[in-house]
Amino acid sequence: MQFSDLVRDQNGWETRSTTTHFADDHLAVVTESVQTPAQAEPKRWTTVRRKAAVVIAAMTGEKKFLLVRQERIPIRAAIWEMPAGQIDDAGAIEETVRRELREETGYELAADGELMPLGHYFSSPGFTDEHGYFFLARGVERVGASEDSILECRAFSAAELRDMIAQNEIRDANTLSMCARLAARGLFSFGAKE
Amino acid sequence: MQFSDLVRDQNGWETRSTTTHFADDHLAVVTESVQTPAQAEPKRWTTVRRKAAVVIAAMTGEKKFLLVRQERIPIRAAIWEMPAGQIDDAGAIEETVRRELREETGYELAADGELMPLGHYFSSPGFTDEHGYFFLARGVERVGASEDSILECRAFSAAELRDMIAQNEIRDANTLSMCARLAARGLFSFGAKE
């Protein structure tokens, strides 16, 4: 697992050494000695490296957003989330968006739909380089079923999303962070009426 | 590192076996065989276990929010974030809030201030059990300096935060997710004027 374009040595950052403790297809645990711009001496730090991901706000013609409910083994719970998935080929981010949207929701971008990139975010920058690229898929339509790992897929209004966030029902970083980015860009309203 | 109260076997979840690949004071990498409520057979999954954390929206008397800028070695960048920190003693969450607030910002809750819990969230539930407890510290005042690892601490208006989120300058899950939770509860407005 390598550095991404986004996470790399530049502007005073310099990796002096790397020791790998564990690695499989999904993550690597490394302890590095890193010279930072602000510290006098290199600092040792343990990082979990992960592939980057895409996170998708899929908006239907009725301006509802698709959420999928799936079992998440690390937290021993099934939760409602926006569709998302890891990027296997760094040059194929938009293809990943389209594939994950289709697989997780059974929806595709309509002929007059639009895919809008909305920047990125880091899920837990104190311990992992994992980051997610946000996309708004405006204008999606149902073409089939979700893949088997998805328990349920449903479209929710902005007001329903807002209430689920307030009540701690939506509680994953992907969905919460996406809603913040959308709202800051004027693409989602936390003040929406039912 | 043990399960927390929040993440544990219950309601049809059952851990059949656990193999630890790596563990230090900050994280453990385990592969588990887990029976889930929806799957017929137990599933093998690799999880990174981490301590839970607190995330603090610290609001000044002028209704500005404190952000701290710090170097994050895993992502090779210094970013603006809300103050946060890991919980060492699961019974002492509010003490952790007060300590991290004081250490990272140099502020404390004022005599007429209020600490409001706002639920929790998971930073990346596909691979880690890490979760953060949200707190609004309403009414904080400066009593000293930030600790050395903090490059800068400043108070930002809601409109400034909104613009920093829109421009991808705020890009960590803690701060983005907190703003979504606050807005859903009517405690932050993405429509704020300067």
Taking only the tens of pLDDT, chain B with its 194 residues reads 455 789 999 999 999 999 999 999 999 999 999 999 999 999 999 999 999 999 999 999 999 999 999 999 999 999 999 999 999 988 899 999 999 999 999 999 999 999 999 999 999 999 999 999 999 999 999 999 999 899 999 999 999 999 999 999 999 999 999 999 999 999 999 987 76
Q: How far is B1 from chain A (nearest CA, A)?
A: 14
Interface contact A37-B74, CB threshold 8 A: no
Nearest CA-CA partner of A190 in A168, A171, A173, A165: A165
Interface contact A21-B26, CB threshold 8 A: no
ipTM over 0.85: yes
> Which of the 8 DSSP states describes residue A42?
-
pLDDT score at B54: 98
Interface contact A180-B180, CB threshold 8 A: yes
Q: Is B53 exposed, middle or buried (0-12, 13-18, 19+ CB in 10 A)?
A: buried
Of A71, A74, A171, the CB nearest to B128: A74
* Count of helices and strands (H, E) across chain B: 3, 10
Of B13, B36, B165, the CB nearest to A184: B165
Contacting residues of A for B2, CB less than 8 Å apart: none
Of A38, A151, A165, the CB nearest to B181: A165
Q: How is residue B57 written in tokens? A: 């929206």
By the 8 A CB rule, do A56 and A97 touch?
yes
Has residue A20 got a pLDDT over 60? Answer: yes
Contacting residues of A for B79, CB less than 8 Å apart: 122, 125
Interface contact A172-B125, CB threshold 8 A: yes
Nearest-by-CA chain B residue for A5: B75
Interface contact B75-A7, CB threshold 8 A: yes
Interface contact A176-B176, CB threshold 8 A: yes
Of A8, A13, A26, the CB nearest to B127: A26
Report the run of H or E that residue B173 belongs to, with start and end: helix B173-184
Distance CA A50, CA A4 (A): 10
